[in-house]
Chains A and B, each alone.
Chain A
Amino acid sequence: MSSDQTPPAVEDVSTQEARMGDGADDRFNSTLREAFGSTPFILTKFDKFMNWVRGSSMFMLQFGIACCSIEMIHTYAIKHDLDRFGSGVPRASPRQADVIIVPGTIVSKFAPRMKRVYDQMPEPKFVVSMGSCTISGGPFQEGYNVIKGAEEIIPVDIHVPGCPPRPEALIYGVAKLQERIAEGESSPVTVKPYELEQFGDLEQDELVDKLASEIDEEDLVMRYNWNDSP
């Protein structure tokens, strides 16, 4: 059936030529390109270049905890669109993420999980803590179950205050983080007040003795000494 039809007329130009049009596509001649003039090379330090790259293309972890995550969603979504700043690809897996935004109150049951998620992220990794709860516990600071800030658990690069911060504030925080990364700075990873450790390694005291029948020696635990919290 198809053989009856006349084949489409073969034109003289190849597809590639047709697409190229006349000469090079001037869309590539950006102002940046013009600024470089005729030379196609940039001279810079490798570290500096890498830091600039790192800051300009960040994969965020898709990570929601509490109220702030609603504003975080709005920051990712239309109108505010964090993607414009080279940092809007939420990844569901911590193994693919560079930045974790901690959006909300951290409570005793969640802190070990959050530490685990943070540990699963590959280096170099950065943390933006969003909202008052991640700074000090915020309005829930006096609660019996509330960790007084994300910095009790993981190192934090940027704090964005607010309850909740507006999307604009979060964008500002992320932009500041990019600036810091481009300058090669990040928060030192230090020992935090609340660390995951094996139950068997805990110092023996009344509480440990009491729980010895419930928790295995090898189980990871987090011990909260509320009195020592800043």
Chain B
Amino acid sequence: MSLEKPSRDTALDVGVTEDGLDYDALADLLGGHVLDREEHVNAEGFVIRPDEVQEVLSTLKEEAGFDHCACVTAQEYDDRYESIYHLRKFDDPTQELSIVVPSPKDDPHNESAARVYDTADWHEREAYDLVGIDYDDHPDLRRILLPETWQGHPLSQDYNQDQPQIVSLREHANPLEDDKRSEDDPDTMFVNIGPHHPATHGVLHVETVLDGEQIADLEPDIGYLHRCEEQMCQQGTYRHQIMPYPDRWDYISAGILNEWAYARAAEDLADIDVPEYAQVIRTMSAEMCRIASHELALATFALDVFGDFTAVFQYGIRDREIVQNLLEDLTGQRLMFNYLRLGGVAWDLPEPREEYFEKIRDFLDDLPHKLEEVHDLVTGNEIFQMRCVDTGVLSKEQVKQYGATGPVARGSGVDYDLRRDDPYGYYDELDWNVVTEEGGDNFSRVLVRLREVEESARIIEQCVDLLEQWPEDDREIQANVPRTLRPDPDKEIYRSVEGAKGELGIYIRSDGTDKPARFKIRSPCFSNLQTLPEMSQGEYIPDMIASLGSLDIVLGEVDR
């Protein structure tokens, strides 16, 4: 069947058994490093000493095959700080392991994992910025989301939100005054791109250093849209108050995909079963969101590469409007759907149902022709190919090192899609394929998105067939969920779904109240953006712009 995984090599499967991971074997592998073992909902957590992080993680990476450091969660307890490294495998993401690193309250620091997983670099900077844990041996530990002159660490317990802050504007220094960045290389020139720039897809700030015309050094500076999403979610109650926020992480109309990330994590945390009928509706609407998101990704990418606001861009928007109309009929909203509920969806399909199905089918019927048009206009275009083929190349190893996921990973031939590998919703009952391309360049990433639109259309079609035949007396859209949810204290879970941009994960720790004690968002764009310096080293600025466009980041999700 198409959903079967290609066979993988068996050298790195310590503790892999038929029914999941054997954590005892993994603990044996680590020997005395494991101080204690915790039970998280998604996996076991091994508690280790703060000065043995590198050793433990490299053992797990080299010998047990945990090549994907999905997320680093930092949090403060009453008596300690804690960093959790959520590890999993690109080959089989259901094999998960959390490495829990406690550090003392008075001087919180532990060894950095950035030497083992490149992706931990930014994740640990974020942990330092928001929670205030110091990471020893980190290559470049400074604030990432908040301004450098910020006082205090906002997600730590004693943070006073009312204290005044001073933010400087110095990044806008005149580049010509400061064009010699280093003593031994006097020919470099500093170019400041953003945060207000048409090609940065929002408020990204890219500091580039040019040597001649080639990029010698590049650093994305993020945080211009850091709107405290984690704090907001920690202040909301599980049942209703959190759900509107996921819509605003990846706001390119990928709302339902994001909502699903929260729904999945919270439902697993509180043991809620979702009725099948609701799962089909979720699957269908989520794939509509994916199409809408990929259409805009293509439109803005074409805008970056062709630089015209007229033809290709408008084609993308035209197709998107149709999907948005479908979603509006379903949810009542054009962009911020707030449609999923814990245990189901907000309401059933719009009446008359036949008319709605008809509309969806019309859209699906027109789609192949439209995609052909797009291929004629974009991917078949010689200028486009010259800009995109073999520029911004990202190798498989780099993808894994940086934890890139979604179309970025699949464009580099990493066959990783959580809809298939860690099934949820109704995906494993349906017939569809995971799209991969081997090129790893800008062109491959665009192709992956376009072909994913076709696959999404297949999924929607099957869902419509199912919904049409669903018996009328069995249309249960909502499970029985208590009005106030209070998951058991100290339950921890990390769950992820395949968002439009990649693995969108959420870590929740409950403390017995109706609000999460820690709510951590693992955003795919945050990790994907980290690959930008690798992709554009030695390339020209226009190629960097194309790479940035093909990464398809959305700043709401990068900064959260």
Contact = CB atoms under 8 A, between A and B. Distances in A.
A2 B225 CA distance: 66
B317 A78 contact: yes
B224 A107 contact: yes
B314 A110 contact: no
Contacts of B313: 77
Q: Is the interface of A mostly helix, strand, loop or mixed?
A: mixed
A67 B254 CA distance: 11
Given A66-B202, A139-B232, A207-B151, A225 B164 contact: yes
A170 to B, nearest CB: 12
Most chain A beta-carbon contacts within 10 A, residue among B149, B195, B196: B196
Given A65-B202, A144-B231, A224-B167, A109 B146 contact: yes
A64 B556 contact: no
B158 to A, nearest CB: 13
A59 interface: no
A221 B166 contact: yes
B369 interface: no
B251 interface: yes
A73 B303 CA distance: 12
B549 to A, nearest CB: 14
Contact of B314 (A77, A105, A116): A77
Interface in A175-227: 196, 199, 202, 207-208, 210-211, 214-216, 219-227
A139 B248 contact: yes
Interface string B288-318: 0000000010000000000001000110011
A71 interface: yes
Interface string A123-157: 00000000001000001101111100000000000
Interface stretch (B78-86, B168-176, B506-514): B168-176
Contacts of B229: 140
Nearest to A92: B198
A163 B203 CA distance: 19
B202 A211 contact: no
B164 A207 contact: yes
Given A65-B202, A71-B334, A145-B146, A109 B166 contact: no
Most chain B beta-carbon contacts within 10 A, residue among A63, A92, A110, A202: A110
A107 B225 contact: yes
B149 A108 contact: no
Interface string B240-272: 000011001001110000000000000000000
Contacts of A62: 198
B87 to A, nearest CB: 30
A65 B161 CA distance: 24
B335 interface: yes
Contacts of B227: 66, 105, 107, 133, 140, 143, 145-146
Nearest to B150: A108
What bracket does the count of chain A residues touching chain B fall in? 35 or more
Contacts of A66: 202, 225, 227, 248, 251, 555-556
Contact of B167 (A77, A164, A208, A222): A222
A64 B202 contact: yes
A54 interface: no
Nearest to B321: A79
Interface in A70-91: 70-71, 73-74, 77-79, 90
A113 B169 contact: yes
A113 B148 contact: no
B336 interface: yes
A107 B162 contact: no
A110 B253 contact: no
B470 interface: no
Nearest to A74: B317
Given A211-B149, A215-B149, A222-B169, A67 B251 contact: yes
A187 to B, nearest CB: 22
Nearest to A218: B170
B232 A67 contact: no
A215 B168 contact: yes
A120 B321 CA distance: 34
Contact of A108 (B165, B201, B252): B165
A183 to B, nearest CB: 30
A77 B317 contact: yes
A214 B149 contact: yes
B166 A211 contact: yes
A108 B167 contact: yes
A71 B248 CA distance: 13
A112 B169 contact: yes
A62 B334 CA distance: 22
Given A62-B198, A144-B161, A214-B148, A219 B168 contact: yes
Interface string B216-237: 0000000111111101100100
A92 B200 CA distance: 12
A203 to B, nearest CB: 11
Contacts of A164: 335-336
A221 B334 contact: no
B225 A105 contact: yes
A219 B169 CA distance: 7
Interface of A: 62-67, 69-71, 73-74, 77-79, 90, 92, 94, 104-105, 107-114, 116-117, 133, 139-140, 142-146, 163-164, 166, 196, 199, 202, 207-208, 210-211, 214-216, 219-227
The 5 A-B residue pairs whose C-beta atoms are closest, nearest first, are A143-B228, A67-B251, A77-B317, A220-B169, A112-B169
Given A145-B146, A199-B168, 16 more contacts: A67-B248, A67-B335, A104-B225, A105-B225, A109-B146, A112-B167, A112-B169, A139-B232, A139-B244, A143-B231, A199-B166, A214-B149, A215-B168, A221-B167, A222-B168, A222-B169
8 contacts: A65-B202, A66-B555, A108-B165, A139-B248, A140-B228, A145-B146, A199-B168, A223-B165
